Amino acid sequence: EAQVTQNPRYLITVTGKKLTVTCSQNMNHEYMSWYRQDPGLGLRQIYYSMNVEVTDKGDVPEGYKVSRKEKRNFPLILESPSPNQTSLYFCASSLTRDGKNYGYTFGSGTRLTVV
C-alpha cells in the first residue's frame, strides 16, 4: 500500500531534550515536506526537500532541522524543543515530473507535547 509513515504518533517530552520524528514514504517520491498544524492557523510548512540532499526552509523553520540522505526518509529534528513547538505535525510526499507536481500524500500525524 502506498503510504507515508510517521513515528511516533504521540510524544510527550520535556523542554530541551532532543527528539526526532521519522517520516518514510514507499512511493519513490522526490518531494517531501513537513507541516505543523495549530488551531486557527491551518497548516504551515516547516521544511521541504526537492530531492536527496536538497532541503530548504518553509514558512516556520526556526527550531527545526531536517535531513534527506535517502529518497524515502525525511526526519524532522528538534534539537532543543520548547513548549511553543507543541503541535500536530504532518509529513507529506509528492511525485514531481517534468516540472509538474502530482498531488500530496500525507502521513497520519504526530502529536507532540513539550512540557
Partner 1 sequence: GNSVTQMEGPVTLSEEAFLTINCTYTATGYPSLFWYVQYPGEGLQLLLKATKADDKGSNKGFEATYRKETTSFHLEKGSVQVSDSAVYFCASRDSSYKLIFGSGTRLLVRP
Residues lying near partner 1 in the complex (CB under 8 A) = 4, 31, 33, 35, 40-45, 48, 50, 58, 90, 92, 94, 96, 101, 103-104, 106-109
DSSP 68: -
Nearer to partner 1, 87 or 94 (CB): 94
Smallest separation (angstroms) from partner 1 to the CB of 39? 8
Cell 504521540, located at residue? 10
Neighbour-count burial of 6, counting CB atoms closer than 10 A to its CB (0-12 exposed, 13-18 middle, 19+ buried): buried
Smallest separation (angstroms) from partner 1 to the CB of 79? 24
DSSP 40: T
